[in-house]
Amino acid sequence: MHTACTMSSSLSPTQMLLLLLSLCICKISLASSSSSEDDAFRRWVSWNVENYRRETSSNAMLTAQAPGIPGKKVVDWKLWKAEMSKIRKTVSQDGTGDYRTVSEALNSIPAFNTRRVILVVKPGIYREKINVPRQMSFVTFLGDSTSPPTITGNDTASVTGRGGTPLKTFQSATVAVDADYFVAINVKFENTAPHEVGSLGEQAVALRISGTKAAFYNCSFIGNQDTLYDHKGLHYFNNCFIQGSVDFIFGYGRSLYENCHLNSVTKKVASLTAQKRTNASLASGFSFKNSTITGSGLLYLGRAWGDYSRVIFSYTFMDRVVAPQGWSDWGDPKRDARVYYGEYKCSGPGANTTGRVPWATMLTDEEAQPFLGTYYIEGDTWLPSL
């Protein structure tokens, strides 16, 4: 007992509890009390040990070094608690699930949600306009990878909204997510409104993500002008297919796109991204890694929506569709010295840098480093490990 007491000074309460438990197990195995009681007790002990093991490994998943503070860890406790109490609901159009539409399922979630709610969305075409409101955190849309559900709409910026005024780009989204900690897996987000060259008011967003700490795996984003509104916050996209004509990924999020396929359907000339970093001290910017660019027309990699627009492509295959100049300042030469448009170890005919604008940066190993991992989006503190 003395040894235990001395040791306890350096032990955490949980470790202390485990130590006491292990002493108890020892005692019990020596004693010969009733076996059903023993079993119940052992189950309880192993439940605790298991819980502790889970807790420590999940903590490792959700813990990270605090930036600039050596030795200080940050834990996203809200997320941790939400994941520990997750529930599932099923959406199926044939009535075999809990709900027939995604909107109905969302309506069943409390406004100030604190647990992970996984909406298993069965295959089908869901013609719905969806908003995940600001306080409805921790929602997951989970589709089937062999037959992903499609959520579709065709609103544009010029369509008249309920108040009698045009929706504008922001409200045109088929799916708008204002909540934090959103996840989508195997889902197709679509806006089918067409785009004619030179026309106005045809911005038609398939998905807008305005909440932070959002992750998208195996998703498709299909549209024309302004397909994916990567509005603001920390975002992760993995193995996604993103298609559009004009500025089809835009906004001022800080986002990492990995293993994605970016496909242009532009008829003439357009830009893949329009990133809106507006001043040099903002951490926002799009980083594309190990992706593929294909499609029609002539495509700039980015045009400067904000004066300090920041976009990086690394290890990306660029097909012929990419314009030799690569980047556009949107007709404002003062932006040439302010934007941060980087390329690193890209390949394919579109990656030929001979015709590039002089203010594009061919990144050194050191310059590229900050953009190459999930640390770019502080992923260690919140990204789910699937």
Ligand X SMILES: *[C@@H]1O[C@H](CO)[C@@H](O)[C@H](O)[C@H]1NC(C)=O
* Burial tier of 154 (Cβ tally within 10 Å: 0-12, 13-18, 19+): middle
The alpha helices in the chain, defined as continuous H runs, are: 2-8, 13-30, 35-62, 77-84, 102-107, 168-171, 365-368
Q: Which of 145, 147, 199, 369 binds ligand X (CB under 6 A)?
A: 145
Which two tokens mark 327? 């980047």
| Interface with ligand X: number of residues (CB under 6 A) | 16
Residue 193 binding ligand X, by CB under 6 A = yes
Q: Which of 9, 36, 96, 281 binds ligand X (CB under 6 A)?
A: 281
Applying CB under 6 A, the span of 175-183, 185-193, 228-236, 296-304 interacting with ligand X comes to 185-193
374 lies in the site for ligand X, by CB under 6 A: no
Please give the backbone phi and psi of residue 81, each rounded to the nearest 5 degrees, phi first. Answer: -65, -40
- Which C-beta is closer to ligand X: that of 279 or that of 369? 279
d(CA 233, CA 172): 20
Binding mask 203-242 for ligand X (x = CB under 6 A): --------------xx--------------------x---
Nearer to ligand X, 63 or 90 (CB): 90
**Binding of ligand X by 314 (CB under 6 A):** no
247 catalytic, yes or no?
A: yes
186 counts as binding ligand X under rule CB under 6 A: yes
Residue 18 contacts ligand X per CB under 6 A: no
Closest CA relative to residue 341, chosen from 356, 321, 324, 322: 356
Q: Nearest distance from residue 8's CB to ligand X, in Å?
A: 43
Q: Which is nearer to ligand X, 29 or 205 (CB)?
A: 205
Which is the catalytic residue, given 76, 226, 230, 247? Answer: 247
Q: Does 96 bind ligand X (CB under 6 A)?
A: no
The least distance separating ligand X from the CB of residue 281, rounded to whole angstroms, comes to: 5
Q: Of 137, 92, 97, 132, whose CA–CA distance to 116 is shortest? A: 137
Contact indicator for 327, 360 with CB cutoff of 8 Å:
yes
Q: Can you tell me the distance from the alpha carbon of 356 to that of 325, in angstroms, rounded to the nearest whole number? A: 4
Backbone angles phi, psi at 181, to 5 degrees: 60, 35
